[in-house]
Amino acid sequence: MAEIRNDWTRDEIAEIYNGPIMELMYKASVVHHEMQATGEVQVCTLLSVKTGGCPEDCAYCPQAARYQTEVQVHKLLEYDEVITKALIAKENGSTRFCMGAAWRNIRDNRDFDNVLEMVKGVSGLGLEVCCTLGMLTEDQARKLKEAGLYAYNHNLDTSEEHYHDIITTREYKDRLDTLTHVRNAGVSVCSGGIIGLGESEEDRVGLLHTLATLPQHPESVPVNALVPVKGTPLEEMKRVSVWEMIRMIATARIIMPGSMIRLSAGRDEMSVEEQALCFMAGANSIFAGEKLLTTPNPEFHEDKAMFELLGLTPRPSYKQHPSLAESN
């Protein structure tokens, strides 16, 4: 049985990451089979509850106020609209619902109170509720937890060394501090990154190393491929190849065997065959629905057809692998 380790060295991870691709996929597949239900893929839905106008300068992000993009800016959605969207997501087979806001950090104001109500409402539908609202304090994380929040998403995005080429308005340490606040409040941690930002292979290994050597692995690790958006500084970046996604996913699966590895942004450009390789390599979750937060994603019916073709079943909510119930 694969072991959960938090003492991985960078060299060990680099060796796994750089191994021959077939061997890497095989090893990841074995770990996946031991530690996860391989035929199951969790279907999650994203909803941008507050879009655009963000003061941060993340070079990839269409929601940063300083870039001229075509994003439709809107203030916080109404409660009823959010609940309606969550119900539709549930009817379409999603078991996790993630609400995103283009905030630098949470502030203790009316908007936050309204988000707490939304969390309560969505959790009442039996969905795993996740939020991604920027930086937060431990007290704010506790309030979210009390409202019924299951998980909080806060990506490290890239390695510490590459961070300032992508974001200058906050520090890597700010991100790590938020993850500590989330963890201390007893909320499940969702943290991963993006590839295709112009980072080196060492940066990818560095990101994976930081995640895998946190005191406890994030329960959920999204692997995003950059979706280059017109108007952002990274609009001209070349899309990453599926082999790079596979290397990231497989390495993440091997070094964080108990975590959900989420094939996140970038699926819209991937064939079913390419996605199947990502599932073989250990990915066990997707975001469904025609939009991620602001960019296109495959439609429900396309994913339904893919699940049928590949013999995959949607993973139920709140499921933890028995082998992990004690240890993580």
* Binding site residues, ligand SF4, CB under 6 A: 54, 56, 58, 61, 63-64, 102, 104, 134
* Contact flag: residue 50 with ligand SAM (CB under 6 A): no
Three-state secondary structure string covering 161-228:
CCHHHHCCCCCHHHHHHHHHHHHHCCCEEECCEEECCCCCHHHHHHHHHHHHCCCCCCCEEEEEECCC
- Judge whether 110 counts as a catalytic residue: no
Contacts of 27 by beta carbon, 8 Å cutoff, 6+ apart: 16, 19, 250, 254
Two tokens, residue 8:
């991985």
Three-state secondary structure string covering 74-116:
ECCCCHHHHHHHHHHHHHCCCCEEEEEECCCECCCCHHHHHHH
- Judge whether 131 counts as a catalytic residue: no
Nearer to ligand DTB, 145 or 291 (CB): 291
Two tokens, residue 88:
């539709």
With contact defined as beta carbons under 8 Å apart, do 45 and 288 qualify? yes
Two tokens, residue 244:
């790079």
Per-residue x/- track, 247-286, ligand DTB (CB under 6 A): -----------------xx---------------------
Please tell me the distance from the alpha carbon of residue 57 to that of residue 64, in angstroms, as a whole number. Answer: 6
Dihedral, CA atoms, 167, 169, 175, 181, nearest 10 degrees?
Answer: -160
* Contact flag: residue 293 with ligand SAM (CB under 6 A): yes
* Contact flag: residue 45 with ligand DTB (CB under 6 A): no
Question: Among 170, 204, 247, 262, which one carries the catalytic annotation?
Answer: 262
Considering only residues 129, 293, 306, 312, which one is a binding residue for ligand DTB as defined by CB under 6 A?
Answer: 293
* Contact flag: residue 130 with ligand SAM (CB under 6 A): no
* Shortest distance (Å) from residue 20 CB to ligand DTB: 28
284 binds, among ligand DTB, ligand SF4, ligand SAM, none (CB under 5 to 8 A by kind): none
Write the DSSP assignment of 29-87 as a string of letters: HHHHHHHS-TTEEEEEEEEEEEBS-BS---TT-TTBTTS------B-PPPHHHHHHHHH
Considering only residues 132, 220, 275, 297, which one is a binding residue for ligand SAM as defined by CB under 6 A?
Answer: 132
Per-residue x/- track, 52-91, ligand SAM (CB under 6 A): --------xx-x----------------------------
Question: Among 5, 10, 44, 54, which one carries the catalytic annotation?
Answer: 54
* Contact flag: residue 292 with ligand DTB (CB under 6 A): yes
Please tell me the distance from the alpha carbon of residue 249 to that of residue 244, in angstroms, as a whole number. Answer: 9
With contact defined as beta carbons under 8 Å apart, do 179 and 226 qualify? no
Per-residue x/- track, 81-100, ligand DTB (CB under 6 A): -----------------x-x
46 binds, among ligand DTB, ligand SAM, ligand SF4, none (CB under 5 to 8 A by kind): ligand DTB
Nearer to ligand SF4, 104 or 239 (CB): 104
226 binds, among ligand SF4, ligand SAM, ligand DTB, none (CB under 5 to 8 A by kind): ligand SAM
Q: What is the DSSP letter of 158?
A: S
Considering only residues 4, 31, 46, 187, which one is a binding residue for ligand DTB as defined by CB under 6 A?
Answer: 46
Nearer to ligand SF4, 40 or 235 (CB): 235
- Judge whether 54 counts as a catalytic residue: yes
Please tell me the distance from the alpha carbon of residue 257 to that of residue 260, in angstroms, as a whole number. Answer: 8
Q: What are the catalytic residues?
A: 54, 58, 61, 98, 130, 190, 262
